[in-house]
Amino acid sequence: MTDYEPVIGLEVHAQLLTRTKLFCGCSTNFGAQPNSNVCPVCLGLPGSLPVLNAEAVAMAVRAAVALGCTIEPKSIFARKNYFYPDLPKGYQISQYEEPFSRHGSLELELDGVTKRVGITRVHMEEDAGKNVHGVGGDSLVDLNRAGVPLVEIVGEPDLRSSAEAAAYLRALRDVLVFIGVNDGNLEEGSFRCDANVSLRPRGTEKFGTRCEIKNINSFRFVQRAIDAEIARQTAILDAGGKITQETRSFDPDTSQTKTLRSKEDAHDYRYFPEPDLPPLALDAAFISAQKSKLPELPAAMRRRVVEELKLPPAAALTLTGHPGYARFFAEACAGFGDPIKVANWVVNEVLRGAKSHGLDATFSVTPAQVAELLALVEAGDISGKQAKEVYAAIEGSDRSPRAVVDERGMRVVSDAGAIQAVCERVLAAHPDQVASIRAGKKGVLGFLVGQVMKETKGSANPKLVSSVLEKLTS
């Protein structure tokens, strides 16, 4: 604890999952040859005119509605003027005074405590290109990303720690991925944030001078960058100095932030309405149509599976960590009606072999195979140990668990006479444990059950084994 309270607000840029750019028909595919997905519009050549991408508008509205924002019936685009090599027009088409949405919020959960964080606005804008440094000693510019559609989500300065900032970022990413408008890929730059950090004396209301940390592209770096900036500002204030408003970057190798440039204010960008685009009009029917396309959001899904299905919170968090995981769990539950057993199997077995990239998730088995396997265990046809053997046999194939059981003759032994013979041998080999049970230490019975299961290679019915052992040791 220090004498200062951090005040943190995040500005998140999320790429919309359209096939083409915001104002032209160029592809948004990642990883193409440099400067191959470009045209006169996104290169800013004289005489070219922008045409707004309707699908980008629909996705942006869905994002804003999911975040509880009020959608404005009329908004305008503006030119944000600045001069960097990666901005071919010399300005960025964005929204400023009249964005299409305002006043939302997002819930984050940290250490079992839920906090609501305000969202100032969600607006649309085009991305800039990318500077590539150190190529043969030169700096080059790749404009494939120029014109890619983004939503900028401007959060209120309601966060008070780096951990809260990381939790907010994860919660926001979950929402955008679940509604299918962003792939949440921090490594490829399609989801990135700027962090505004300031300090104020504890117990005061007035904000301190803020510094902005640009383009943080991992949850871990968000925490490290904010902690480093808090430490830097604390040291300056403790020494009697003043914080200078500026834009900084974070170096993960040194765990320090460093100056990029003096911080611009809105007037420095000389915003004015974009003359080549008409005002954006969104009627009630369009907004309602986008709202109807929203699925159940991850936070609501977590609450539902905990309250209605009685899943442990940790399992609920894992199963709602990706929309593909949630779909797999729901489909497996449709085939086998015990959600707790399904959740245990999916979390502990299925997700170990699962792979996710963006909105896609692949699994080594199908929900139907899992449901059939659990039904075999439930019916007493195979034991839990045998189920893992069957699972290993069906991974990466379309084989039926029942067919594997039949082929390998893996039916559970439920013959009381055969099981009793094994139990008697186990008891004879462990007289000390038998004496402990007869002395009242019933917990030792589990050890003996395990020995019988080991000797039968997991083929004995464990309930029958326990019953026989209780009878023999009574």
pLDDT score, position 267:
75
Rg of the chain's alpha carbons, rounded to an integer?
A: 29
- Report whether pLDDT(259) > 60: yes
Residue with tokens 């023999």: 472
pLDDT score, position 186:
86
pLDDT score, position 13:
96
pLDDT score, position 459:
75
Mean pLDDT over 378-402 rounds to 91
The angle subtended at Cα 419 by Cα 449 and Cα 458, nearest 5°, is: 55
Least confident among 137-146, 262-271, 279-288: 262-271
Residue with tokens 């929900």: 367
Q: At 378, phi and psi to the nearest 5?
A: -60, -35
Kindly report, residue by residue over 436-455, the tens digit of the pLDDT: 888 888 888 889 888 988 88
Q: What distance separates the 2 farthest-apart alpha carbons in the chain?
A: 95
> What is the rounded distance in angstroms from the CA atom of residue 113 to the CA atom of residue 29?
39
pLDDT score, position 457:
74
Amino acid present at 438? R
pLDDT score, position 412:
67
Kindly report, residue by residue over 16-53, the tens digit of the pLDDT: 999 999 999 999 999 899 999 999 999 999 999 999 99
Nearest to 144 by CA among 318, 305, 15, 58: 15
Mean pLDDT over 165-174 rounds to 95
Confidence of residue 413 (pLDDT cuts 50, 70, 90): low
Q: How many alpha carbons fall within 13 Å on the CB side of residue 159?
A: 31
Confidence of residue 1 (pLDDT cuts 50, 70, 90): low
Q: How many alpha carbons fall within 13 Å on the CB side of residue 135?
A: 8
Mean pLDDT over 240-268 rounds to 87
Concatenated DSSP letters of 285-308? HHHHHHHHT----HHHHHHHHHHT
- Report whether pLDDT(461) > 80: no
Confidence of residue 130 (pLDDT cuts 50, 70, 90): very high
Query: Which two tokens mark 374?
Result: 């659990």
| CB count in 10 Å sphere of residue 138 | 8
Mean pLDDT over 353-375 rounds to 94
pLDDT score, position 383:
82
6 touches 161 (CB < 8 A):
yes
3 state DSSP class of 75: strand
Confidence of residue 245 (pLDDT cuts 50, 70, 90): very high
> What is the rounded distance in angstroms from the CA atom of residue 77 to the CA atom of residue 95?
5
Residues near 328 by beta carbon (within 8 Å), at least 6 away in sequence:
346, 350, 361, 363, 367
Confidence of residue 415 (pLDDT cuts 50, 70, 90): low
If you average pLDDT over every residue of the chain, what do you get? 92
* CATH number of the structural domain 416-473: 1.10.10.410
CA distances from 45 to 25, 50, 126, 271 (A): 15, 11, 16, 21
Confidence of residue 374 (pLDDT cuts 50, 70, 90): very high
Q: How many alpha carbons fall within 13 Å on the CB side of residue 14?
A: 30
Higher pLDDT, 59 or 421: 59
- Report whether pLDDT(63) > 60: yes
Query: Which two tokens mark 198?
Result: 């300031």
Higher pLDDT, 412 or 474: 474
> What is the rounded distance in angstroms from the CA atom of residue 205 to the CA atom of residue 224?
26
- Report whether pLDDT(398) > 80: yes
Mean pLDDT over 363-378 rounds to 96
> What is the rounded distance in angstroms from the CA atom of residue 344 to the CA atom of residue 356?
20
78 touches 94 (CB < 8 A):
yes
> What is the rounded distance in angstroms from the CA atom of residue 20 to the CA atom of residue 59?
13
- Report whether pLDDT(282) > 90: yes
> What is the rounded distance in angstroms from the CA atom of residue 95 to the CA atom of residue 93?
7
Residue with tokens 């770096």: 221
Residue with tokens 């075999």: 376
pLDDT score, position 456:
80
3 state DSSP class of 273: strand
> What is the rounded distance in angstroms from the CA atom of residue 174 to the CA atom of residue 345?
23
Backbone torsion region of residue 134, taken as left when φ is above 0, otherwise alpha when ψ lies between -120 and 50, otherwise beta:
left
Query: Which two tokens mark 239?
Result: 């020494």
> What is the rounded distance in angstroms from the CA atom of residue 259 to the CA atom of residue 243?
12
pLDDT score, position 157:
97
3 state DSSP class of 72: coil
Least confident among 319-323, 330-334, 376-380, 413-417: 413-417
Residue with tokens 């050549």: 45
pTM to 2 decimals? 0.85
Mean pLDDT over 401-427 rounds to 83
pLDDT score, position 381:
82
3 state DSSP class of 465: helix
Amino acid present at 449? V
Residues of the chain with CATH 1.10.10.410: 416-473
Least confident among 149-153, 201-205, 229-233: 201-205
